[in-house]
């Protein structure tokens, strides 16, 4: 009887705490430098949350070590809802498969909600001798080992998406890693490298200006930021090819579930605002949101999928 009473009292206390939350500023740690996609998405949604909840959501950039420094900081923070993480694919889904991290994202973090999805596009030089995805595949398949693809670095999201595409399409090609998407795309434009799969945000202006041409986007649905580009799943006849870099909010493990649910509901409300959608399109991103449980399931799937890509492609990075 006493245990039941305590359980009821704890539940009531938790609900009351969540109703009062937040009653002071909330810090959001962004494990990347200013201007990066995660930074921009987190700030845009943070502005909306500040307006909706009546408390400042203060952004703090704590970059370094591929996002692991800021991620670890949040993982070790007090689980009271006042320290959040601008979470993303790299340090959460990819890095733990490539190297030892000081945190276990599936144990040390409590997912809140997705806030954005960043689709990628397959791009080639403007004069590449193919007019669509199927012609591109036929040409590359007929010349195994001849063609090269660029990425923003070994183990980067762009590398993962390209390796998955190559595997599903049966391509025998050579990887050329760069230090960032800008030099990678510069060499694709110049024809030194045959193709790349890079973010719509990075490729969009080059596609629109005619410096690059695209054969499709990596998501199952067309991107709002690049509506004329087909999906590669359809254009390249690769059913199931559906990948995007994800961005979301997370909290330290142990954060009260009522607070996580409240934040998730407010994020869902925020991303439906028409002005936010417009800003996302400008940045080459698509809106996204889900529940804490849905985000946890997604994180498990993503970590498993990247692990499979890395193992199948034999990807290793220098420690």
- CATH number, domain with residue 83: 3.40.190.150
Give the domain-ending residue among 212, 235, 258: 235
Same domain, 124 and 228: yes
Same domain, 101 and 249: yes
- CATH number, domain with residue 167: 3.40.190.10
Asked if pLDDT for residue 155 goes beyond 90, the answer is yes
Is 37 part of a structural domain of the chain?
Answer: yes
Asked if pLDDT for residue 207 goes beyond 60, the answer is yes
> What global pTM score does this model have?
0.90
Strand, coil or helix: 31: coil
Q: For position 114, what pLDDT does the model report? A: 98
Is 160 part of a structural domain of the chain?
Answer: yes
Is 97 part of a structural domain of the chain?
Answer: yes
Cα 223 to Cα 71: distance, rounded to the nearest angstrom: 28
Length of the chain: 319
Same domain, 71 and 107: yes
Eight-class DSSP state of 307: H
Same domain, 112 and 125: no
Locate 13 and state its tokens: 């206390």
Give the domain-ending residue among 186, 208, 235: 235
Same domain, 147 and 296: no
Same domain, 108 and 130: no
Q: For position 17, what pLDDT does the model report? A: 59
Give the domain-ending residue among 215, 235, 255: 235
Which domain does 309 fall in, by range? 2-116+245-313
Q: For position 212, what pLDDT does the model report? A: 98
Same domain, 266 and 299: yes
Cα 252 to Cα 107: distance, rounded to the nearest angstrom: 9
pLDDT above 90 covers a percentage of the chain that reads 93
For residue range 91-107, list pLDDT tens digits in order. Answer: 999 999 999 999 999 99
Same domain, 63 and 143: no
Same domain, 108 and 182: no
Strand, coil or helix: 123: strand
Is 319 part of a structural domain of the chain?
Answer: no
Is 172 part of a structural domain of the chain?
Answer: yes
Mean pLDDT score across all residues of the chain: 94
How many separate domains does the chain show?
Answer: 2
**Is the N-terminal amide bond of 22 cis, ω within 30° of 0?**
yes
Asked if pLDDT for residue 14 goes beyond 70, the answer is no
Same domain, 273 and 285: yes
Same domain, 42 and 106: yes
Asked if pLDDT for residue 158 goes beyond 60, the answer is yes
Asked if pLDDT for residue 306 goes beyond 70, the answer is yes
Same domain, 92 and 9: yes
Q: For position 314, what pLDDT does the model report? A: 94
Is 318 part of a structural domain of the chain?
Answer: no
**Minimal CA–CA distance to 111: which of 259, 296, 318, 285?**
296
For 189-209, give one letter per residue: b (16+ CB within 10 A) or e.
beeebbbbbbbbbbbbebbee
Eight-class DSSP state of 126: T
């Amino acid at each position: 009887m006493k245990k039941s009473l305590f359980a009821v009292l704890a539940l009531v206390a938790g609900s009351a705490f969540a109703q009062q939350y937040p009653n002071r500023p909330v810090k959001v740690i962004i494990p990347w430098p200013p201007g990066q996609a995660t930074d921009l998405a987190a700030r845009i949604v943070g502005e909306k949350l500040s307006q909706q909840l009546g408390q400042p959501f203060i952004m703090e950039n704590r970059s370094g070590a591929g996002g692991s420094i800021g991620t670890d900081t949040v993982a070790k923070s007090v689980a009271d809802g006042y320290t959040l993480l601008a979470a993303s694919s790299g340090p959460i889904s990819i890095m733990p498969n490539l190297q030892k991290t000081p945190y276990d994202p599936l144990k040390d973090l409590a997912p809140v909600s997705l806030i954005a999805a960043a689709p990628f596009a397959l791009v080639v030089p403007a004069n590449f001798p193919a007019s669509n995805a199927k012609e591109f595949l036929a040409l590359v398949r007929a010349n195994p080992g001849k063609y090269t693809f660029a990425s923003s670095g070994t183990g980067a999201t762009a590398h993962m998406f390209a390796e998955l595409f190559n595997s599903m399409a049966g391509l025998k090609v050579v990887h050329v890693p760069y230090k960032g998407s800008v030099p990678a795309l510069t060499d694709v434009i110049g024809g030194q490298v045959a193709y790349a799969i890079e973010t719509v945000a990075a490729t969009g202006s080059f596609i629109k200006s005619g410096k690059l041409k695209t054969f499709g986007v990596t998501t199952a649905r067309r991107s709002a930021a690049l509506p004329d580009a087909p999906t590669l799943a359809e254009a390249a006849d690769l059913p199931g090819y559906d990948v995007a870099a994800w961005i979301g909010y997370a909290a330290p493990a142990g954060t009260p579930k009522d607070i996580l649910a409240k934040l998730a509901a407010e994020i869902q409300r925020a991303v439906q605002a028409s002005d936010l959608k417009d800003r996302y399109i400008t940045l080459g991103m698509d809106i996204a949101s889900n529940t804490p449980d849905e985000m946890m399931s997604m994180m498990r799937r993503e970590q498993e999928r990247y692990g499979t890509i890395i193992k199948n492609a034999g990807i290793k990075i220098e420690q």
